[in-house]
Structure 1
Amino acid sequence: MATKEQYQPDTSEFETRERAFEKNIQVTRMAESVRLALMVVALLAGLTIVGTSANTLSVYDKTHVSTDFLLPLSGVWPSEFDLRPTIALVTCGTIIAITSAIALIASKASSIRYNPLIHSTVSCIASAICLIAGLVGTSFYYGVNRSDTVFSLQAWTCQFSHVPMTQAPHWGALCKESKAALYLTVMIIPLEVLVLGFSAYVSSAEKKQLVIRERKGSPAMS
């Protein structure tokens, strides 16, 4: 008498989907790690921009005196001086640092981290703010620095960077600090574009993973 064959469920397709799902999770985690690393770089860059720009302003304030006073340092700075580019770098650097710090903290908060919509919104808004700050700081700096009649801090200090100074202001150091702040602000632009790209990818992947998890947990899929 022939025995009835027992039904053997085909698990190969299920296992393939599971492996693909796990691989997708791993790739998403890697992308999220890269995004967080880039945000840390943006935070450090923002702090450096603020530190270097603020220091150049501090040196200027300490060594600048009116030409009405017959003092040794009265002639080291021009009578007409435009501090707006440096002030713009301090402002934009502060915005970048604070926004990056808030975004990093938000990424670690469970109430935000495990909500794809809120998480992606916070990440994209933070990156957009930093990107705009970088664009504004860079464009403002180069726009004002084109003037042939009024000097900026970088233009003046770099003009005399080869002149040795035994006391403040040390032109070479101030020139390097001004350039470092400017170059880091320029670097923020492509950096935040990358962060936006990774944020968009992570957001899309997390939403898909959430849908798959919900389907797995639904009675219809059990």
Structure 2
Amino acid sequence: MTSGSSIAGSGHTYSSDKEEDTFLKRNRITHFVRLGLSFLSFGIGIAVITCEALPLQNYKNTSQWATAGLALWPLNFDIRPTIAAISCGGIITLLSMVYIIVALLPSPYSLIKPLNIYASVSALAGFATALISVLFIIYRPSSDYPAGFNENETLHSWTCKWKTGTSGISSPSHFDRDCTSTRAAFVLLCVLVGMEALMGIVGVVGIWFQRDVSRRRIGQSQLTQLDFATKDTKDGYRN
């Protein structure tokens, strides 16, 4: 009877070790996927900032020419979409950088649970930020423009109008570049929406793996305690 109990206990231990190995393999996969997505989000966030910062700098430099009678920008100009894109890129870059630093720093403690939680929360924040930025750039709520205009012009719309103008007038300096840069920034923002959504999914999967193995650990602990209690009872009867 005692040997039978020992065999049962050995079977539980083997099953537990196998489950732990499976959990560690799954966690390793989700860890590298999240780390890869974080590096990509970090790079894309920097690219968004760069693509929008150069046209913004050109606008700031040339908008001063209006005082000398050389106005390049219309009265119904709206700079808010550019600010929104730069802000979004900065937020996602910061969130991704924090995850990369925490994930790569050596630690004497297990960071599986904290990283799962942070990945999910930061992905939710990044997804909301990118989605709001994209929608704001498209719809531009609370947009205000002078009388006589039906809509506002943005850095993208205005520079691209000069690039594809109907007249034979050549476009001002850097307008071609600014049109391409702002278009690229918007496309990258749309990519960030998808990447942050994917990051959130992987984070939720990691949390699910963590909770699943925790439940199995509790069950295994209860089985082990039951085995010991059964063995002690039989030893007591034997004595």
Match of 1:152 in 2: 154
Deviates more, 1:146-155 or 1:75-84: 146-155
Quote how far apart the aligned CAs of 1:125 are. Answer: 1.8
Deviates more, 1:186-195 or 1:61-70: 61-70
Higher relative contact order (CA 8 A, sep 6+): 2
Match of 1:54 in 2: 53
Are 2:110 and 1:114 aligned? yes
Quote how far apart the aligned CAs of 1:14 are. Answer: 5.8
Are 2:41 and 1:42 aligned? yes
Task: Supply the RMSD in Å over aligned alpha carbons.
Answer: 3.4
The count of aligned residue pairs is 213
Match of 2:234 in 1: none
Which of 76, 94, 97 aligns to 2:93? It is 97
Deviates more, 1:163-172 or 1:116-125: 163-172
- Identify unmatched segments of 5+ residues in structure 2: 229-239
Deviates more, 1:120-129 or 1:138-147: 138-147
Are 2:204 and 1:205 aligned? no
Cα-to-partner distance string for 1:85-111 (whole Å, 9 max, x where unaligned): 001111111111111111222223455
Match of 2:174 in 1: 170
Letter in 1 for 2:181: E
Letter in 2 for 1:98: L
Shift of the 85–113 alpha-carbon distance from structure 1 to 2, 3 Å rule, reads farther
Letter in 2 for 1:82: D
TM-score w.r.t. length of structure 1: 0.79
Match of 1:3 in 2: none
Distance of 1:113 and 1:143 partners within structure 2:
47
Match of 2:64 in 1: 65
Letter in 2 for 1:124: S
Letter in 1 for 2:154: S
Distance of 1:79 and 1:151 partners within structure 2:
9
Shift of the 118–13 alpha-carbon distance from structure 1 to 2, 3 Å rule, reads closer
Distance of 1:179 and 1:86 partners within structure 2:
11
Shift of the 138–113 alpha-carbon distance from structure 1 to 2, 3 Å rule, reads farther
Answer with 1 or 2: which has the greater Rg.
Answer: 2
TM-score w.r.t. length of structure 2: 0.74
